[in-house]
Amino acid sequence: MLAGAGAATITAKAPVRNKHNRRALAEDVRSEMRWAWRNYREHAWGKDQIRPISGGNESFPLKNHHLGLTLIEALDTLWIMGLDDEFRDGVEWIKANLDFDVDGEVSVFETSIRLVGGLLSAHHACGDPVLLAKAKDLADRLLPSFNASPIGIPHRFINLKTGALRGPETNPAETGTFIPEFGFLSRARGDDRYRAAAKRALVSMFERRSKIGLLADSIDCMTGEWKSRRATIGPPSDSYYEYLWDGWDLLGDRDCLAMYRTCTAAILKHQPLRRGGDLWFGNVDFETGKPLDTEQDELGSFYGGLLAQGGNPAVGRAHTRTWAKVQKRYGVLPESVDSRDMAALSKTNDLRPELADAAFNHWLIDGREEWREIVRDHYLAMKRWNRARYGYADLADVTSNPRIQSDHCPGYWWSEQMKYYYLIFANTPRVDYRKLYLSTEGNVLRGLRRP
């Protein structure tokens, strides 16, 4: 389908300096969320993902079985926006229908960040013990993947019913993106097993860093042998670094802070790539630091926000501004660009939240208007190009005019960018912005205020 046809058109960009315009933007985001939710409610209720062009549905993370992924991802966003009837409806569905005893295989990483995290943030919002119990049941089904490895690094896939494992060849993100969810669960249940497993995996990966302090992006989880030479701050390593910081931020774990600092020092020494006024982080050989290619993955655009959180705001700002230039060129970001000239190397757009995530994190730290402007542009371009008949859709090509949409809406859309947009414009009393903690999937595990 061609985007723009039939979609609501935006006629002007609202200056974000003006309070009324910010309020209007927040209201607009809220009303888009409600519209998308109603479509999901009507056409794909209880399914994992709605197909936004046809109104059909598709399952994820299981192949042939639905777990209500979208509604679980959406819950804390609905709650923050004060869409309380919708929130209650979702919680009721979970209580009546959600059952993880399914003979099917899931990604351990995706299941933890999306489903365990989504249930925990909904529990944080309303305190319902059933949500916590469901999160525990699911985490119990993921834990064997950690325990099966002599070095504590999980296999990539596990069968939810039988515990059968697959995928020993894994990577930093799928090794180390567990500690906030598992740590929260351990605290809430008074059972340290979850936190300890997540921490062991983080440390085990860290101990395998090269002499110059970098991690490669593929490893055997049973032997600890590296399977690649490429160090990157993009996928599949990105959220490993994010969760080192988060282990400190959310749980006060000093080892995580020390590991974050060690990894960051190595990255800042070997990976910055300056071109004109732009700052990228290159993909390099993990033992020599030698540059490998010039590709920059959109998922890496979260990194400027993380650097600012971790105490390197100037470098972080430079990187986020570089990605904001890419946004100025394309409107909606392509999946990857060439750092030499910002040419799109992968022209698709998977409704990605990372640039909005980074800008939001900068704004929480320094309150500058420029971050709100980046987020506003992100939102307006998405509304213009990604809005389809039944919801928001990926783009098959961000360079065509009009843009071409694909019939897919990822679960993270409900948990991430809609929340960042709303939070940056709304100033809602439901959130203590100074305490706010957001997971890699945008799930709030600290800082919600019940009315």
E strand segments, 146-205: 157-159, 165-166, 169-170
Contact 108, 142 (CB under 8 A): yes
Instruction: Report the b/e string of 339-350 with b at 16+ CB within 10 A.
Output: beebebbebbbb
Site string for ligand IFL, 123-162 (x = CB under 6 A): ----------------------------------------
Q: Is 264 in the site for ligand IFL (CB under 6 A)?
A: no
Among 53, 142, 215, 299, binds ligand IFL (CB under 6 A): 299
What's the sign of the alpha-carbon dihedral 241, 246, 249, 254?
Answer: negative
Contact 124, 77 (CB under 8 A): no
Site string for ligand IFL, 354-383 (x = CB under 6 A): x-----------------------------
Stretch that binds ligand IFL, among 61-69, 139-147, 251-259, 346-354 (CB under 6 A): 346-354
CA nearest 195: which of 180, 207, 176, 210? 180
Q: Which is nearer to ligand IFL, 139 or 356 (CB)?
A: 356
Minimum CB distance to ligand IFL, residue 353 (Å): 6
Q: Which is nearer to ligand IFL, 302 or 385 (CB)?
A: 302
Minimum CB distance to ligand IFL, residue 9 (Å): 26
Cis status, amide bond into 61, omega within 30 of 0: yes
Q: Is 118 in the site for ligand IFL (CB under 6 A)?
A: no
Stretch that binds ligand IFL, among 16-24, 211-219, 349-357, 377-385 (CB under 6 A): 349-357
Q: Is 352 in the site for ligand IFL (CB under 6 A)?
A: yes
The residue with tokens 């567990």 is 178
Stretch that binds ligand IFL, among 184-192, 197-205, 350-358, 384-392 (CB under 6 A): 350-358
Among 286, 390, 412, 420, binds ligand IFL (CB under 6 A): 412
Q: Which residues contact 31 (CB under 8 A, 6 or more apart)?
A: none
Q: Is 239 in the site for ligand IFL (CB under 6 A)?
A: yes
Minimum CB distance to ligand IFL, residue 15 (Å): 29
Q: Which is nearer to ligand IFL, 32 or 174 (CB)?
A: 174
Cis status, amide bond into 52, omega within 30 of 0: no
The residue with tokens 């009721």 is 92
Minimum CB distance to ligand IFL, residue 72 (Å): 13
CB closest to ligand IFL, residue no: 440
| Size of residue set near ligand IFL by CB under 6 A | 9
Minimum CB distance to ligand IFL, residue 14 (Å): 26
What is the phi/psi pair of residue 100, to 5°? Answer: -90, 0
CA angle 108, 305, 385 (to 5 degrees): 80
Contact 359, 322 (CB under 8 A): no
Minimum CB distance to ligand IFL, residue 354 (Å): 6
What's the sign of the alpha-carbon dihedral 334, 384, 6, 89?
Answer: positive
Contact 98, 136 (CB under 8 A): no
Q: Compute how many other C-beta atoms are within 10 angstroms of the C-beta atom of residue 255.
A: 14
Length of the chain (residues): 451
Stretch that binds ligand IFL, among 33-41, 91-99, 124-132, 352-360 (CB under 6 A): 352-360
Site string for ligand IFL, 195-234 (x = CB under 6 A): ----------------------------------------
Q: Which is nearer to ligand IFL, 270 or 363 (CB)?
A: 363
Q: Which is nearer to ligand IFL, 168 or 411 (CB)?
A: 411
Minimum CB distance to ligand IFL, residue 352 (Å): 5
Residues 414-443 that bind ligand IFL (CB under 6 A): 440-441
Contact 280, 296 (CB under 8 A): yes
Q: Which is nearer to ligand IFL, 28 or 354 (CB)?
A: 354
CA distance 111 to 154: 13
Amino acid identity at 83: L
Minimum CB distance to ligand IFL, residue 319 (Å): 17
Q: Which is nearer to ligand IFL, 144 or 353 (CB)?
A: 353
Q: Which is nearer to ligand IFL, 46 or 300 (CB)?
A: 300
E strand segments, 44-90: 49-50, 57-58
Q: How is 410-437 classified by DSSP, letter by letter? A: -THHHHTHHHHHHHHHH--TTB-TTT-E
CA nearest 26: which of 366, 375, 351? 375
Residues that bind ligand IFL (CB under 6 A): 113, 239, 299, 352-354, 412, 440-441
